[in-house]
Amino acid sequence: MDDHLPSRSILAPDTPLLPGETVIRSFTADRATYWRENAWLAAIAMAGGMGILWGLGNEHVWTGAVGGLFAIAVRALYLSSDETRMRWDLTDRRLLGPGTRAIALAEIAKLNTIFSAVQVVTVSGDKHLLKYQADTGAVTAAILAAKTGGPP
């Protein structure tokens, strides 16, 4: 086993706070948003599976729906315990992600919204996702307020 790799998933920030640094707000995945997004993904997979089978001339087109639903359901159930426990902490100086991810607020170049995720793009081009957020607008506003020194 590789000694530099953790033996378990680190789902919360593991970066120590700097002297005088305080956590302003924490962002965790919303369970309802997680399941709603996976339901949409299942619907798309079902339609896609049926479309592919129809295009191939298969007379059992309905099996595409079953396969698409099963694939996304298994994936959603398998990942739910980790994905819904991910936590990001916003401090007065940095955005701390799961494990040792740490992004200085001054290094944040852009914030994008992608469905229920907020994408943080750094000046160097690194991209990070705060996934399954119930209110992406509030997350974006809080990060921008911390970056500009305003109230969260």
Report the C-alpha gap between 150 and 71 in whole angstroms: 44
Mean pLDDT, rounded, for 88-97: 96
Backbone angles phi, psi at 50, to 5 degrees: -65, -40
Give the three-state DSSP class for 99.
strand
CB 13 within 8 A of CB 96: yes
**Higher local confidence (pLDDT), 9 or 129:** 129
Report the C-alpha gap between 59 and 67 in whole angstroms: 15
What's the pLDDT band for 149 if we cut at 50, 70, 90? confident
Report the C-alpha gap between 34 and 121 in whole angstroms: 22
The residue assigned the tokens 């690194």 is 126
The per-residue pLDDT for range 59-78, each reduced to its tens digit, is 999 999 999 999 999 999 99
DSSP state of 13: B
pLDDT given for residue 7 in this prediction: 47
Give me the long-range contacts of 4-7 (CB less than 8 A, separation at least 24): 6/99
Report the C-alpha gap between 33 and 22 in whole angstroms: 28
Beta bridge partners of 99: 13
CB 130 within 8 A of CB 139: yes
pTM, 2 dp: 0.83
CB 132 within 8 A of CB 37: yes
The residue type found at 22 is T
Residue 60, number of CB atoms within 10 A of its CB: 8
The per-residue pLDDT for range 104-132, each reduced to its tens digit, is 999 999 999 999 999 999 999 999 999 99
pLDDT given for residue 53 in this prediction: 96
What's the pLDDT band for 1 if we cut at 50, 70, 90? very low
